[in-house]
Structures are given as C-alpha cells and as structure tokens.
C-alpha cells in the first residue's frame, strides 16, 4: 500500500533543490551577486550557494525548460526577493505553486 504524499512532499527532493539552484545560478550569473549576497537573500549558507554553483546540489534544473513562462516568473520573483518583499523560502513556495499550476 502506498501512502499519500502532499504535493510539497512529492517535489521536495528534486524540484525544490533544482529551483533553488536556478535562483542561485541566475543571481550569480545574471545579477552578478556574490555568493555571500546570494546566501543572505535566499536564507541559505554561502557553502550551499557554492554547492549549487558547482552542481553538487540541485542538479535536476533541466526539468523546468519546457514550462511556459518559467524563466520570466523566476526573474519576477527574484526582483521581489532583491527588493526585500519576499524571503528565500517564500520565493520557493511561489515558484512551486507556479510550477504546479502549469504542469
């Protein structure tokens, strides 16, 4: 008998680390933020940022390529995080909701 898993539980192992990896990647490559700045924005350690950038975490990033409007949504949410309107965890929840509503 399989047990019921909540949607957030279903995606927490692969999707959320991948989304966090995308956020880190975007902030580092496109916004030219330092690892320390990214860590502070997303509420994670600098060591975690380094692991995302070195693809030791969040390696399933390609699964989002075909989601309509995904990259635009990421950019929109990142602007809110940078403006202090959202915290890192809140950003992940918004992205998760967006992905679940489009797939």
Domain of residue 14, residue span: 10-102
Task: Indicate whether 53 belongs to any domain.
Answer: yes
pTM for this one?
0.77
Task: Report the SS3 class of residue 3.
Answer: coil
How does pLDDT run along the chain (103 residues), one tens digit per residue? Answer: 556 767 667 667 777 888 888 889 989 999 999 999 999 998 899 999 999 999 888 777 677 778 888 889 888 998 998 898 988 788 888 888 888 788 6
Number of domains, the chain: 1
Task: Indicate whether 4 belongs to any domain.
Answer: no
Place of tokens 């995308």: 22
Task: Decide if 91 contacts 23 (C-beta within 8 A).
Answer: yes
Nearest-angstrom CA–CA distance, 30 and 43:
19
């Amino acid at each position: 008998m399989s047990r019921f898993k909540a949607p957030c539980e279903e995606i927490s192992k692969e999707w959320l680390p991948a989304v966090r990896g995308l956020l880190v990647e975007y902030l580092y490559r496109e916004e030219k933020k330092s690892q320390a700045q990214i860590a502070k924005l997303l509420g994670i350690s600098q060591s975690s940022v380094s692991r995302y950038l070195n693809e030791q975490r969040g390696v399933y990033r390609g699964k989002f390529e075909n989601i309509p409007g995904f990259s635009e949504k990421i950019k929109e949410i990142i602007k809110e995080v940078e403006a202090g309107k959202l915290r890192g965890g809140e950003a992940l929840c918004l992205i998760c909701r967006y992905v679940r509503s489009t797939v």
